[in-house]
């Protein structure tokens, strides 16, 4: 069996999440990848460990990964593949369902675990439940969660690159512009690292103690409801049941006790760190790493250690 | 805020509250007079969302209202098949013998264990089929009184910011004008409270006394489920002076309703109804029912325990109080659904008569109540709760037995309530702290993870709906004298003392509020005013609750 | 210009979903249901486009059980003009939904279909894209801003790490992301008025669409609870662990 992975890219780089999609696809069989953009991207794709063939769509109409032409291209290539896979990011979620519709296939988004070639596990109800689903479609179209599969090594492969021809598609969309957000202080919901404070921060002024640490990490700043209710920070920063739901690679909780309402907003984070004075704080029950101590001492020490 | 432009709509009857009383009244109105327009509003996000009761119900009123309730699929599916009343000691329990003799009011033959929320949802569909207009998600926030007659209510504004100013999605409230308005808000209704004051409806009656009921629903392994089993307890963990006890009912599909009621006339400021409720689950008489199960829902609600002596004047120009807004709960029976429904039905009859004769006040309601079985029931039961208040748990139980066996409720005397529940707390340094074990995360839990299961939510950006009339009283009275009893009696963790060591102040987490109204009742100086938050806010109790 | 807005009735976002004891799915009986929040945003956007004069009519459609009427009434209380309920007891997958919507698009002839980007129950995030594919229309997914100008629609899209602008020929598909707008309340007077707005019911079978599911649910389970990790003694040790053990920095 062979799987075709759509490799999405940003700023001339293949996204790390796409490398996780390669790992997932390798569980299903031989891995071919499709990449758009310039020759350097195709070259990078060929070096990913585990990739046996690179299909390169160099035409400019594919460069911005617009769904309309790209889905048509995928459909034209789909014949030889049992699985079509992409990372569950904005590109994969935009393109793959469209291609699936054209293939008369029900896509399977956000796969977190592969049971067998037909059977996959995916979260539903915002991760409150995990559904195991079996597809009866001849081809499977899936997007996979990068947090659930390690990234394939970017080096080590030497797959041949094959140019693919342009496929006609309705000319209905036009790329205009892109603005990438400031990576120094990213958006709470899309940040790779989130640094959050709770009532233990003490006051609006003292809450800023987190800023230097967030700067070093390029992290977004979040807060518990207690911190918001105490007036330390505005409501937009609230992480939790009634605030934002985040699932960063790293979530650091300072002075947050860890009420279930807060956990509901961050428990799917990959790694959780907690710093709290109270060794009994429930946050430690979900934290991968904890420090019992005064956050006003620990935070500057962390910022220093990270600079090294 | 400046006078908002409010739309208004005219109805013959406006009903505030979609519980058993309001829905029964609505149904009866349309049955008796199909041309009468009836509008019912409910502050919960849907009918049933704020309904919390044990509940074992007596189908008497339902059978009078809808004799074919079985054919219509009323969700009364678990008949009571076995029942026990236990007197608990710390480690053991004594089964009260001859229950049907010494506590005949407790006999549940012919009664059903239900989810009252489900019953209300079903009643609402019956009412809608009869043409009642039902609008959940809208809180009555203002009584409209013109020329000393209640002419309806206004719903609250939506989209007002925390600062009290209209936000971008501001929607002014709406005036629902009715020739008659029925207040069916349940215990301690916020509009009912205003109406009682305006018309001095409590003149000459005993103070109302209340209880706080806290409830959990558990799903247990099928092999442990005994549908129809009813178990009540009194005694431990409450001291002899504190009224209350636990219930446990097996019903539905492997569900168990477990809960605990504490009389809000309790004296020990350190008492925490929530923690009492939690620790009873660890008692051998309760534990084995729940072990191996999972808790699926949680909630709390105050109930009126005053009975007959505390029932206020029921009518006023332009309307009436029905259900637990008036206090029709039969405490010894621990049932109020049938009495609430009956009161709603009788009010409906009175309103239909008033419409015909164009009377301002549906005054025949009072007469109808006095001539009904509802009054007989409350009259028979009238001395039992006050006996507990006066003689304590054991004395009260003995009195209740004597009352039942010898006097059969026909005692020539009536015991009275002397105090308001807010007057009974004793200063912190005169009270002993009960020992509450730490939650184990299996059978017992903390407040916040409990509130989580009530699916409570309030739009964040809105004015705090729990208001301190005089904020400075908190420090001098609540903190200095009673050590913040609200932090313990609130079953939802709304009240929290922040900076306890340095500069203690009260943090009000209004978003957690499950609308039980206990703070409005128990605050020592009646300083906390519970007002309606934006409609749709509060708990979202599922069917099963 | 007509706008079609599909809306779905889902378990209310305030309710913590509970997996059924037999693992067959999530408990929906007796649970509060509401309009999918992303669909509320879609309705709001469509109504705003009509209020701005960019559209003349907003038609909402739902595919589901009889009670989905309540969801449609809510949409009409928010400002939609009329509603269509495609009645079915099944819970169709996005592919089937897209096929049903395609027949309605062909019947109604809207210039724009605005959908929520995903439903908060199955979290599929697929219906809009699939409908666009079946119709051969352009798709502006995960929209945070929508402008209709000169026969085209300009859409700002939320992408990983930023925003992208695309321009689509009409007719087109939009799927709404969280930041597109803040939906208005369905006010009580508008709820009363919405009762009188037209609602057409079409049995799904009458549309002749193959709605057979392609996915079988093998089981549904609660996610494993997180386990407590380790306590570390110092900031330096923590950084070392994050770098070399967890490899997150």
Proportion of chain B above pLDDT 70, given as a percent? 99
Read off the CATH number of the domain in which C76 is found.
Answer: 3.40.50.620
Chain C residues whose beta carbon lies within 8 Å of the beta carbon of residue B293: none
**Choice among B120, B279, B490, B518 that is catalytic:** B490
Is C145 a member of any domain?
yes
Cβ neighbours for B308, distance < 8 A, ≥ 6 positions apart: B375, B378, B379, B381, B382, B414
**Choice among B39, B120, B187, B519 that is catalytic:** B519
In the predicted model, what is the mean pLDDT of chain A?
Answer: 94
- What is the Cα–Cα distance from B538 to B494, expressed in whole angstroms? 12
pLDDT in tens, A146-199: 889 999 999 999 999 999 999 999 999 999 999 987 666 788 888 889 999 999
**Which residues of chain C carry a pLDDT beneath 70?**
none
Is C164 a member of any domain?
yes
- At residue A147, the pLDDT reads 84
pLDDT at B406 over 80: no
> How confident is the model over A205-228, as a mean pLDDT?
95
Contact yes or no for B540 and C29 at CB 8 A: no
CB count in 10 Å sphere of residue A23: 21
**C 16-35 residues inside an 8 A Cβ radius of B:** 16, 18, 21, 29-32, 34
Cβ-Cβ contacts under 8 Å between A and B: the total is: 22
Its ipTM equals: 0.95
In the predicted model, what is the mean pLDDT of chain B?
Answer: 94
Place of tokens 């062979």: A2
- What is the Cα–Cα distance from C83 to C201, expressed in whole angstroms? 9
A218 dihedral zone (left: phi>0; alpha: psi -120 to 50; beta): left
pLDDT at B3 over 90: no
**Choice among B39, B120, B187, B516 that is catalytic:** B516
Contact yes or no for C12 and B540 at CB 8 A: yes
Contact yes or no for B453 and C14 at CB 8 A: no
- At residue B1, the pLDDT reads 45
Chain B residues whose beta carbon lies within 8 Å of the beta carbon of residue C15: 455, 540, 542
Q: Per this entry, what is the length of chain C?
A: 249
Chain B residues whose beta carbon lies within 8 Å of the beta carbon of residue A229: 507, 509
**Helix C127-135 × helix C94-108 angle, to 10°:** 50
Taking alpha carbons only, the member of C161, C197, C245, C181 closest to residue C79 is: C197
pTM, to two decimals: 0.94
N- to C-terminal Cα separation, chain A:
47
Residue A132 φ/ψ, nearest 5 degrees: -100, 120
Q: Of A137, A173, A291, which has the smallest distance from its Cβ to C168's Cβ?
A: A173
Contact yes or no for A124 and C157 at CB 8 A: no
- What is the Cα–Cα distance from C197 to C73, expressed in whole angstroms? 8
Is C179 a member of any domain?
yes
pLDDT at B28 over 70: yes
Helix, strand or coil for residue B267? coil
- What is the Cα–Cα distance from B183 to B193, expressed in whole angstroms? 10
Contact yes or no for B155 and C29 at CB 8 A: no
A190 touches chain B (CB under 8 A): no
Active site annotation includes B431: no
- At residue C161, the pLDDT reads 78
Q: How many domains does chain C have?
A: 1
Eight-state DSSP code of residue B476: I
- At residue B255, the pLDDT reads 97
Taking alpha carbons only, the member of A143, A183, A179, A193 closest to residue A17 is: A143
Residue B246 CA: distances (Å) to CA of A41, B212, B391, B446, B487: 69, 12, 20, 18, 22
Is C133 a member of any domain?
yes
Half-sphere exposure of B463 (CA within 13 A, CB side): 16
Active site annotation includes B120: no
**A223's tokens:** 């807060």
Beta-sheet pairing, C33-35 with B229-235: unpaired
- What is the Cα–Cα distance from C123 to C146, expressed in whole angstroms? 23
C185 touches chain B (CB under 8 A): yes
B509 touches chain C (CB under 8 A): no
- Domain hosting residue C217, numbered range: 2-244
Cβ neighbours for A308, distance < 8 A, ≥ 6 positions apart: none
* Chain-centroid distance, C-alpha A78: 25
Residue C225 φ/ψ, nearest 5 degrees: -70, 150
Is C37 a member of any domain?
yes
> How confident is the model over B141-153, as a mean pLDDT?
97
C226 touches chain B (CB under 8 A): no
A241 touches chain B (CB under 8 A): yes
Chains with at least 3 CB pairs less than 8 angstroms from chain C: A, B
- H or E stretch including A305? helix A295-307
- At residue B400, the pLDDT reads 83
Is C249 a member of any domain?
no
- At residue A9, the pLDDT reads 94
Q: Of B451, B452, B460, which has the smallest distance from its Cβ to A235's Cβ?
A: B460
CB count in 10 Å sphere of residue A17: 23
- What is the nearest CA distance from A259 to chain B, expressed in angstroms? 7
Q: Per this entry, what is the length of chain A?
A: 308
Is C110 a member of any domain?
yes
pLDDT at A112 over 80: yes
pLDDT in tens, B248-268: 999 999 999 999 999 999 999
Contact yes or no for C166 and A175 at CB 8 A: yes
pLDDT in tens, B367-378: 999 999 999 999
Is C198 a member of any domain?
yes
- What is the Cα–Cα distance from B209 to B201, expressed in whole angstroms? 16
Q: Per this entry, what is the length of chain B?
A: 545
- Band (B65; pLDDT cuts 50, 70, 90): very high
B297 touches chain C (CB under 8 A): no
**Choice among B33, B36, B45, B53 that is catalytic:** B53
Place of tokens 């209340």: B210
């Amino acid at each position: 069996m062979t799987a075709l992975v759509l490799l999405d890219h940003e700023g001339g780089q293949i996204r790390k999440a796409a490398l996780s999609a390669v790992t997932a696809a390798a569980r299903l069989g031989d891995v071919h990848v499709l990449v758009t953009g310039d020759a350097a991207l195709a070259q990078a794709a060929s070096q990913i460990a585990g990739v046996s063939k690179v299909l390169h769509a160099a035409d400019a109409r594919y460069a911005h990964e617009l769904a309309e032409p790209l889905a048509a291209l995928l459909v034209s290539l789909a014949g030889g593949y049992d699985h079509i896979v992409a990372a569950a990011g904005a590109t994969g979620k935009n393109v793959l369902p469209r291609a699936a519709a054209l293939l008369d296939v029900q896509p399977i988004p956000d796969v977190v675990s592969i049971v067998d070639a037909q059977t996959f596990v995916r979260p539903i109800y915002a991760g409150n439940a995990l559904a195991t689903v079996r597809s009866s479609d001849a081809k499977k179209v899936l997007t996979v969660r990068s947090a659930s599969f390690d990234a394939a090594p970017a080096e080590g492969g030497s797959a041949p690159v094959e140019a693919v021809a342009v496929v006609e598609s309705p000319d209905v969309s036009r790329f205009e512009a892109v603005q990438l957000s400031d990576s120094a202080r990213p958006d709470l919901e899309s940040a790779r690292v989130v640094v959050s404070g709770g009532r233990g921060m003490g006051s609006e002024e003292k809450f800023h103690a987190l800023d230097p640490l967030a700067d070093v990490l390029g992290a977004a700043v979040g807060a518990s409801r207690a911190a918001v209710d105490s007036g330390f920070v505005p409501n937009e920063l609230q992480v939790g049941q009634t605030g934002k739901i985040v699932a960063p690679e790293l979530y650091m909780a300072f002075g947050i006790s860890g009420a279930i309402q807060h956990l509901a907003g961050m428990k799917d984070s990959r790694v959780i760190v907690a710093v709290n004075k109270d060794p009994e704080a429930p946050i430690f029950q979900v934290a991968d790493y904890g420090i019992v101590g005064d956050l006003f001492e620990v935070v500057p020490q962390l910022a220093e250690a990270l600079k090294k | 805020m400046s006078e908002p432009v409010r739309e208004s709509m005219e109805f013959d009857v406006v009903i505030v509250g979609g519980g058993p009383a309001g829905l029964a009244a609505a149904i009866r109105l349309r049955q008796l007079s199909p041309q009468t327009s009836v509008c019912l509003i409910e502050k919960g996000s849907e009918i049933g969302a704020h309904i919390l009761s044990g509940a074992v119900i007596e189908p008497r009123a339902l059978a009078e209202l809808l004799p074919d309730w079985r054919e219509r699929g009323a969700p009364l599916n678990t008949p009571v098949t076995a029942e026990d009343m236990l007197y608990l000691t710390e480690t053991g329990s004594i089964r009260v013998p001859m229950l049907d003799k010494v506590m005949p009011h407790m006999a549940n033959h012919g009664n059903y264990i239900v989810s009252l929320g489900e019953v209300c949802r079903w009643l609402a569909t019956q009412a809608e089929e009869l043409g009642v207009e039902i609008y959940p998600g809208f809180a009555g926030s203002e009584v409209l009184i013109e020329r000393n007659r209640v002419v309806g209510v206004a719903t609250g504004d939506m989209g007002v910011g925390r600062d009290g100013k209209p936000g971008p999605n501001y929607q002014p409230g709406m005036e629902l004008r009715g020739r008659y308005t029925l207040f069916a808000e349940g215990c301690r209704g916020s509009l009912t409270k205003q109406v009682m004051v305006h018309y001095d409806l409590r003149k000459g009656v005993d103070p109302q006394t209340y209880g706080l009921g806290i409830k959990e629903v558990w799903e247990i392994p099928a092999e442990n489920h005994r549908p129809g089993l009813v178990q009540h307890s009194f005694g431990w963990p409450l001291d002899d002076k504190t009224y209350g006890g636990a219930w446990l009912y097996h019903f539905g599909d492997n569900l168990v309703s477990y809960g605990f009621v504490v009389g809000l006339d309790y004296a020990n400021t350190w008492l925490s109804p929530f923690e009492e409720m939690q620790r009873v689950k660890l008692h051998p008489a309760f534990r084995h029912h729940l072990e191996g199960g999972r808790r699926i829902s949680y909630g709390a609600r105050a109930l009126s325990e005053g009975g007959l002596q505390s029932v206020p004047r029921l009518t006023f120009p332009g309307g009436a109080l029905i259900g637990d807004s008036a206090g029709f709960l039969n405490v010894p029976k621990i049932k109020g659904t049938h009495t609430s429904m009956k009161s709603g039905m009788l009010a409906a009859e009175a309103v239909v008569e008033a419409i015909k004769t164009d009377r301002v006040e549906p005054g025949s309601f009072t007469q109808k109540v006095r001539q009904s079985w509802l009054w007989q029931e409350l009259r028979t039961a009238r001395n039992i709760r006050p006996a507990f208040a006066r003689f304590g748990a054991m004395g009260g139980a003995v009195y209740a037995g004597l009352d039942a066996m010898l006097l059969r409720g026909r005692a020539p005397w009536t015991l009275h309530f002397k105090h308001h529940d807010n007057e009974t707390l004793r200063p912190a340094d005169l009270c002993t702290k009960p020992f509450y074990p730490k939650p184990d995360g299996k059978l017992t839990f903390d407040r916040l993870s409990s509130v989580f299961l009530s699916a409570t939510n309030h739009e964040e950006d809105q004015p705090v709906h729990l208001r301190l009339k005089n904020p400075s009283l908190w420090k001098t009275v609540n903190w200095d004298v009673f050590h913040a009893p609200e932090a313990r009696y609130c079953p939802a963790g709304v009240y929290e003392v922040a900076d306890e060591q340095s500069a203690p102040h009260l943090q009000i987490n209004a978003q957690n509020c499950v609308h039980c109204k206990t703070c409005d009742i128990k605050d020592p100086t009646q300083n906390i005013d519970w007002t309606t938050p934006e409609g749709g806010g509060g708990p979202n109790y599922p069917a099963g609750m | 210009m007509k706008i079609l807005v599909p809306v779905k009735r889902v378990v209310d976002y305030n309710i913590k979903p509970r997996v059924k004891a037999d693992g067959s799915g999530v408990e929906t009986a007796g649970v509060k249901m509401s309009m999918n929040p992303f669909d509320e945003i879609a309705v709001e956007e469509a109504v705003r486009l009509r209020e701005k004069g960019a559209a003349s009519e907003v038609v909402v459609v739902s595919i589901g059980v009889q009670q989905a009427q309540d969801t449609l009434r809510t949409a009409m209380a928010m400002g939609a003009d009329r509603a269509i309920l495609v009645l079915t007891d099944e819970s169709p997958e996005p592919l089937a939904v897209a096929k049903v919507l395609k027949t309605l698009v062909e019947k109604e002839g809207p210039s724009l279909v605005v959908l929520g980007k995903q439903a908060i129950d199955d979290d599929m995030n697929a219906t809009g894209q699939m409908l666009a594919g079946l119709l051969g229309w352009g798709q502006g997914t995960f929209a945070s801003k929508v402008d209709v100008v000169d026969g085209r629609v300009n859409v700002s899209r939320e992408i990983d790490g930023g925003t992208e602008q695309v321009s689509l020929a009409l007719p087109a598909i939009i799927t709404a992301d969280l930041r597109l707008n803040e939906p208005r309340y369905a006010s009580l007077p508008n709820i009363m008025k919405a009762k009188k707005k037209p609602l057409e019911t079409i049995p799904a079978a009458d549309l002749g669409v193959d709605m057979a599911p392609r996915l079988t649910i093998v089981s549904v389970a609660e996610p494993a609870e997180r386990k407590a990790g380790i306590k570390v003694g110092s900031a330096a040790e923590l950084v070392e662990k994050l770098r070399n053990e967890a490899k997150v920095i």
